[in-house]
C-alpha cells in the first residue's frame, strides 16, 4: 500500500475530486483536445495567450484521478508564465514522471507538481499524468488534437 | 439467499483445487500477494499440459509440417492435422476441412472480409453488426466499406445489454448480405440468440459470421445447430497458446472464396505464368503456420474435455452468481451488463473512483482486472460510460478470488472516501 499512498496523496485526491479551472471559457485563443486511446480519457485545454504569455488557462474532460489532478494542478502552475518557461517546465515534468534516476534537487522548481512523481512506479499510469501536458503543448503550438500514442 | 449448490441437477465432479494445481501461474505472486487472476476474457492462463506439450515438441520432435520427407516431420504433420479434427469435433463442424488456422480471431474476420467480402459483396449491399461488437468485428467491415461501398447497419441492444431481436429483424431486407455478430459480449457477458439471428438472416439470403471469442471458452458451440456460415475464435482465450486462431466456414463457401494470402503451402502448382491453389483448408494457410501453438491448442481442448465441459460450465455459473451477489453488496457499485442470459464477465463502475484508479489500487492487492473501454468504444457510448472495470472469470477462479476482489475494492473506497 505504501507506493499506492504515495501515488494517491491527499493533494491529488483533492484535485481529482474538485478540479480547479475546470471550465469552458469564451475568450480562449488556443485550444486542443488530448486523447489517450488506450483508456478513452479525453481532455480539452483552453488557453488565452497574449504576447507569448499564457494569461489564462482552463480545461474540461473526463479521466482518472491522476489525469484530472495533473490537469488541475497544471492550470494553477502555468498561469502567467511564458511559452518558453512552459516548455522547460514540461520537460522537467516529463523527466520527473519517467526518469527513475532523477536528482530530487533538479525538480524542486516544480514545487507542488512533485506530488505526481509517484507515477514513476506505475509505468502504465505515466500517460495519465502527462496527457494534460501534451495537450497543453499542442494548444500552444496551434494543433487541434494530440494523442498519447 | 438462494443456495448455489443444493439443486440436484447442479451437482458436478469438477474440483477447482485440483484444477488450480494444473496452472503453474497460481504459484506466483503479484505485488507480494497471491495472484487473483480475473482477466481471462483478455487471455486465459495455461495449464501444465499445454506448456509441457510445447516444450516437449521443441525438445524432441520439432520440424516443419507438410514438407519434410522424414519421420519427425511426418509425425508432427499428423499431430498438427489432428488438431483440425479435435476442433472440428469440439464445435461440431461437418467436415474437418472447414477448420482454417489463422493467427487469431481478428485475422479470421479479416480473412472473411478480404476474401468473401471483397469477392461476393458489392456497393450498397448491407452488413449488419450489433452495438456490442469488439473493434475486431467493426473495423474490418469499415475497411471493406471504404473499398467497395457496402453499407453498415447496427442492431441495437437494450439497457441491460441484451440483443433486441425484434429491432434486428426490422433491419433485415433483401439487401442484407452479411450479418456479423458476437456470440457473447466481451464487456457485458451477454449471450446472443445466435441460432435465431442466423435463421432470420439466412431467410433473407444473408450469410452469418459469429464472433465466438468469448463464447468458445464458456458455452457449448455447435456450428451445425447454430447454422452459421462462419464462426471465429482465438486459441489463447481457450487456455491454449497465443498466436493461433480459428476460422470455421462452410465447405461450399471456402471452395468459392479466393485465397487470403499467397505463398508457400497454399499452392498446388506454381509457374511464373500462373499458380493454382491447394485444396481447402490449405488454400487459406500460406506459409509456415503456428505449428506448435496449433498443437498446444489441441492439447488445451483435450484438457478441457477431460475435466468435463458441462461440469466446467456449471461450476463457472456458480462463481458468476456468487460474484454478482457480492459485488452488488458494495455501495456505489453499478454493474454494467445485466442480461438475463450471461456468462463469466462482470463489468462495473464505482461512483467514487475511475476504473483506472480502481485497477491500479487493486493490482497492489494482487488482483488482476481490466479497466478501460475493452476494445468496444461504441458499446461504451451506448451504455453511457467512458470506461468500466472488468472482472472476467475462468475455470480456475474460486469464491476466495471473489472475496479478495471485494476486499480490494474496499481499499479503493478507503483511499477515495
Residues B363 and B249 in one domain: no
Neighbours of A24 (CB within 10 A): 11
Mean pLDDT of chain B: 95
Residues B288 and B360 in one domain: no
**SS in 3 state form for chain B?**
CCCCCCCHHHCCCCCHHHHHHCCHHHHCEECCEECEECECCCCCCCCHHHHHHHHHHHHHHCCCCCCCCCHHHHHHHHHHHHHHHHHHHHCCCCCHHHEEEECCHHHHHHHHHHHHHHHHCCCCCEEEEECCCCHHHCHHHHHHHHHHCCEEEEECECCCCCECHHHHHHHCCCCEEEEEEECECCCCCEECCHHHHHHHHHHCCCEEEEECCCHHHHCCCCHHHHCCCEEEEECHHHCCCCCCEEEEECHHHHHHCCCCCCCCCCEEEECCCCEEECCCCHHHCCCCCCHHHHHHHHHHHHHHHHHCHHHHHHHHHHHHHHHHHHHHCCCCEEEECCCCCECCEEEEEECCECHHHHHHHHHCCCEECEEECCCCHHHHHHCCCCCEEEEECCCCCCHHHHHHHHHHHHHHHHHHC
Chain B residues within 8 Å of chain A (Cβ atoms): 353-357, 360-361, 364, 371-373, 377, 380, 386-387, 411, 415-416
The ipTM of this complex is 0.88
- The alpha carbon of residue B377 and the mean position of all alpha carbons in its chain are separated, in whole angstroms, by 18
Neighbours of B3 (CB within 10 A): 7
A-chain residue closest to B33, CA distance: A1
With CB atoms and an 8 Å threshold, state whether B364 touches A64: no
Residues B326 and B361 in one domain: yes
Q: What average pLDDT does range B388-400 have in this prediction?
A: 98
Residues B193 and B341 in one domain: no
Q: Is residue B44 part of a domain?
A: no
Q: Which residues of B touch A126 (CB under 8 A)?
A: none
With CB atoms and an 8 Å threshold, state whether A122 touches B373: no
With CB atoms and an 8 Å threshold, state whether A66 touches B356: yes
Q: Of the residues B271, B305, B339, which one is the last residue of a structural domain?
A: B305
Residues B382 and B295 in one domain: no
- Which pLDDT value is given to residue A103? 82
pLDDT of B406 over the 70 cut: yes
Out of B357, B373, B415, the one facing A64 most closely (by C-beta) is: B357
CATH number at residue B65: 3.40.640.10
- Which pLDDT value is given to residue B202? 98
Residues B190 and B297 in one domain: yes
pLDDT confidence tier of residue B265, bands split at 50, 70 and 90: confident
Q: Of the residues B305, B320, B337, which one is the last residue of a structural domain?
A: B305
Domain that holds residue B356: 8-30+308-416
Residues B189 and B329 in one domain: no
Phi, psi (deg, nearest 5) at residue B333: -95, 135
Residues B244 and B166 in one domain: yes
HSE at residue B93, side-chain half, CA atoms within 13 A, is 22
Residues B139 and B23 in one domain: no
Out of A1, A7, A40, the one facing B372 most closely (by C-beta) is: A40
Q: Is residue B180 part of a domain?
A: yes
Q: What average pLDDT does range B202-228 have in this prediction?
A: 98
With CB atoms and an 8 Å threshold, state whether A4 touches B360: yes
Residues B190 and B61 in one domain: yes
Out of A5, A41, A125, the one facing B360 most closely (by C-beta) is: A125
Q: Is residue B119 part of a domain?
A: yes
With CB atoms and an 8 Å threshold, state whether B386 touches A41: yes
Q: Is residue B313 part of a domain?
A: yes
With CB atoms and an 8 Å threshold, state whether A64 touches B356: yes
- Which pLDDT value is given to residue A3? 80
First to last CA, chain B: 29
Where does residue B398 fall: left (phi above 0), alpha (psi -120 to 50 degrees), or beta otherwise?
Answer: beta
Tens-digit pLDDT profile for residues B117-147: 999 999 999 999 999 999 999 999 999 999 9
Tens-digit pLDDT profile for residues B149-162: 999 999 999 999 99
Cβ contact B239:B45 at 8 Å: yes
Q: Of the residues B266, B286, B305, which one is the last residue of a structural domain?
A: B305
Burial B365-376 (b: 16+ CB within 10 A, else e): bbbbbbbbbbbb
Out of B357, B372, B380, the one facing A65 most closely (by C-beta) is: B357
**pTM for the whole structure:** 0.93
Q: Which residues of A touch B356 (CB under 8 A)?
A: 39, 41, 64, 66, 125, 128
- Which pLDDT value is given to residue B266? 87
Q: What average pLDDT does range B398-403 have in this prediction?
A: 98
Cβ contact B198:B170 at 8 Å: no
Domains parsed from chain A with CATH numbers: 2-147 (3.90.1010.10)
With CB atoms and an 8 Å threshold, state whether A125 touches B416: no
pLDDT of B30 over the 80 cut: yes
Tens-digit pLDDT profile for residues B162-172: 999 999 999 99
Nearest to B238 by CA among B105, B121, B133: B105
Tens-digit pLDDT profile for residues B171-192: 999 999 999 999 999 999 999 9
Percent of chain B at pLDDT above 70? 97
Enumerate the β-bridge partners of residue B102.
Answer: B245
A-chain residue closest to B408, CA distance: A1
pLDDT of A84 over the 90 cut: yes
Kindly list the strands in the beta sheet with B151-155, ordered across the sheet, starting from the edge strand earlier in the chain. B99-102, B245-249, B230-234, B207-211, B176-182, B126-130, B151-155
The rounded distance, in Å, linking the Cα atoms of A123 and A98 is 8
Q: Which residues of B touch A64 (CB under 8 A)?
A: 354-357
Q: Is residue B258 part of a domain?
A: yes
Give chain B's domain count: 2
Q: Is residue B40 part of a domain?
A: no
pLDDT confidence tier of residue B9, bands split at 50, 70 and 90: low
- Which pLDDT value is given to residue A149? 66
Tens-digit pLDDT profile for residues B317-330: 999 999 999 999 99
Range of weakest confidence among B19-23, B136-140, B259-263:
B259-263
CATH number at residue B23: 3.90.1150.10
According to DSSP, residue A57 is labeled E
Tens-digit pLDDT profile for residues B79-110: 999 999 999 999 999 999 999 999 999 999 99
Active-site residues of B: which are they? 375
pLDDT of A106 over the 90 cut: no
- Which pLDDT value is given to residue B269? 87
Q: Nearest CA to CA, how far is A18 from chain B (Å)? A: 13
pLDDT of A109 over the 70 cut: yes
With CB atoms and an 8 Å threshold, state whether B371 touches A38: no
**SS in 3 state form for B229-255?**
CEEEEECHHHCCCCCCEEEEECHHHHH
A-chain residue closest to B371, CA distance: A39
pLDDT of A38 over the 80 cut: no
Tens-digit pLDDT profile for residues B323-352: 999 999 999 999 999 999 999 999 999 999
Out of A4, A7, A38, the one facing B372 most closely (by C-beta) is: A38
B-chain residue closest to A36, CA distance: B372
Q: Which residues of B touch A63 (CB under 8 A)?
A: 354
Q: What average pLDDT does range A1-29 have in this prediction?
A: 91
Chain A residues within 8 Å of chain B (Cβ atoms): 1, 3-5, 7-8, 13, 38-42, 62-66, 122, 124-125, 128
Asked whether the bond before A108 is cis by omega within 30 degrees of 0, the reply is: no
pLDDT of B5 over the 70 cut: no
Residues B315 and B248 in one domain: no
pLDDT confidence tier of residue A1, bands split at 50, 70 and 90: low
Cβ contact B359:B389 at 8 Å: yes
With CB atoms and an 8 Å threshold, state whether A39 touches B357: no
Q: Is residue B36 part of a domain?
A: no
pLDDT of B205 over the 90 cut: yes
Percent of chain A at pLDDT above 70? 99
Tens-digit pLDDT profile for residues B237-247: 999 999 999 99
Tens-digit pLDDT profile for residues B368-382: 999 988 999 999 999
State the Rg of chain B over Cα.
22
The rounded distance, in Å, linking the Cα atoms of B91 and B231 is 9
Q: Nearest CA to CA, how far is A49 from chain B (Å)? A: 31
Is A27 in a helix, a strand, or coil?
coil
Residues B77 and B16 in one domain: no
Out of B373, B386, B415, the one facing A62 most closely (by C-beta) is: B386
Q: Is residue B35 part of a domain?
A: no
Which distant-in-sequence residues (6+ apart) come within 8 Å of B210 by Cβ?
B181, B182, B183, B194, B198, B226, B228, B230, B231, B232
Which distant-in-sequence residues (6+ apart) come within 8 Å of B92 by Cβ?
B221, B222, B223, B224, B225
Amino acid at each position: 500500500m505504501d507506493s499506492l499512498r504515495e501515488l494517491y496523496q491527499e493533494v491529488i485526491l483533492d484535485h481529482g475530486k474538485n478540479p480547479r479551472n475546470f471550465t469552458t471559457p469564451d475568450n480562449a485563443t488556443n485550444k486542443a483536445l488530448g486523447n489517450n486511446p488506450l483508456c478513452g480519457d479525453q481532455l480539452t485545454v483552453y488557453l488565452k495567450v497574449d504576447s507569448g504569455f499564457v494569461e489564462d488557462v482552463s480545461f474540461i474532460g473526463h479521466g482518472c484521478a491522476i489525469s484530472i489532478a495533473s490537469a488541475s494542478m497544471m492550470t494553477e502552475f502555468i498561469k502567467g508564465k511564458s511559452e518558453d518557461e512552459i516548455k522547460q517546465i514540461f520537460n522537467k515534468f516529463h523527466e520527473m514522471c519517467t526518469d527513475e534516476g532523477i536528482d530530487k534537487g533538479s525538480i524542486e522548481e516544480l514545487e507542488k507538481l512533485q506530488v505526481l512523481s509517484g507515477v514513476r512506479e506505475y509505468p502504465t499510469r505515466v500517460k495519465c499524468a502527462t496527457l494534460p501536458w501534451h495537450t497543453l503543448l499542442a494548444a500552444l503550438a496551434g494543433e487541434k488534437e494530440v494523442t498519447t500514442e | 439467499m438462494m443456495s448455489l449448490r443444493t439443486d440436484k441437477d447442479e451437482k458436478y465432479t469438477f474440483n477447482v483445487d485440483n484444477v488450480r494445481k494444473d496452472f503453474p501461474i497460481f504459484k506466483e505472486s503479484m505485488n507480494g500477494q497471491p495472484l487473483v487472476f480475473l482477466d481471462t476474457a483478455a487471455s486465459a492462463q495455461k495449464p501444465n499440459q499445454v506448456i509441457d506439450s510445447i516444450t516437449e515438441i521443441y525438445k524432441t520432435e520439432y520440424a516443419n509440417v507438410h514438407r519434410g520427407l522424414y519421420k519427425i516431420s511426418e509425425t508432427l504433420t499428423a499431430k498438427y492435422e489432428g488438431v483440425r479434427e479435435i476442433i472440428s469435433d469440439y464445435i461440431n463442424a461437418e467436415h474437418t476441412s472447414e477448420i482454417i488456422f489463422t493467427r487469431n480471431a481478428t485475422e479470421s474476420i479479416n480473412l472473411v472480409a478480404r476474401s468473401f467480402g471483397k469477392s461476393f459483396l458489392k456497393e450498397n449491399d448491407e452488413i449488419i453488426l450489433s452495438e456490442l461488437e469488439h473493434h475486431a468485428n467493426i473495423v474490418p467491415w469499415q475497411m471493406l466499406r471504404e473499398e467497395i461501398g457496402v453499407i453498415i447497419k447496427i442492431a441495437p441492444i437494450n439497457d441491460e445489454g441484451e440483443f433486441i431481436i425484434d429491432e434486428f429483424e426490422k433491419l433485415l431486407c433483401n439487401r442484407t448480405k452479411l450479418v456479423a455478430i458476437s456470440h457473447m459480449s466481451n464487456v457485458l457477458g451477454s449471450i446472443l440468440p445466435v441460432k435465431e439471428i442466423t435463421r432470420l438472416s439466412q431467410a433473407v439470403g444473408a450469410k452469418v459470421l459469429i464472433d465466438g471469442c468469448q463464447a468458445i471458452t464458456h458455452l457449448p458451440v455447435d456450428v451445425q445447430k447454430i447454422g452459421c456460415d462462419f464462426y471465429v475464435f482465438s486459441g489463447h482465450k481457450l487456455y491454449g497458446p497465443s498466436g493461433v486462431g480459428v476460422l470455421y466456414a462452410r465447405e461450399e463457401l471456402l471452395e468459392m472464396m479466393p485465397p487470403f494470402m499467397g505463398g508457400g503451402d497454399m499452392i498446388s502448382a506454381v509457374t511464373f505464368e500462373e499458380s493454382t491453389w491447394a485444396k481447402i483448408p490449405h488454400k487459406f494457410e500460406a506459409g509456415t503456420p503456428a505449428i506448435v501453438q496449433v498443437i498446444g491448442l489441441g492439447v488445451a481442448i483435450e484438457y478441457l474435455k477431460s475435466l468435463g465441459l458441462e461440469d466446467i460450465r456449471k461450476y463457472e455459473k456458480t462463481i458468476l452468481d456468487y460474484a454478482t451477489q457480492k459485488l452488488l453488496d458494495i455501495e456505489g457499485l453499478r454493474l454494467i451488463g445485466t442480461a438475463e442470459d450471461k456468462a463469466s464477465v462482470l463489468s462495473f463502475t464505482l461512483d467514487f473512483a475511475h476504473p483506472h484508479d480502481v485497477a491500479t489500487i487493486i493490482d497492489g492487492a494482487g488482483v488482476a482486472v481490466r479497466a478501460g473501454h475493452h476494445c468496444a468504444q461504441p458499446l461504451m457510448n451506448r451504455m453511457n460510460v467512458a470506461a468500466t472495470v472488468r472482472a472476467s472469470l475462468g475455470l480456475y477462479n474460486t469464491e476466495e478470488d471473489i472475496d479478495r476482489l471485494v476486499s480490494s475494492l474496499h481499499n479503493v473506497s478507503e483511499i477515495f472516501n
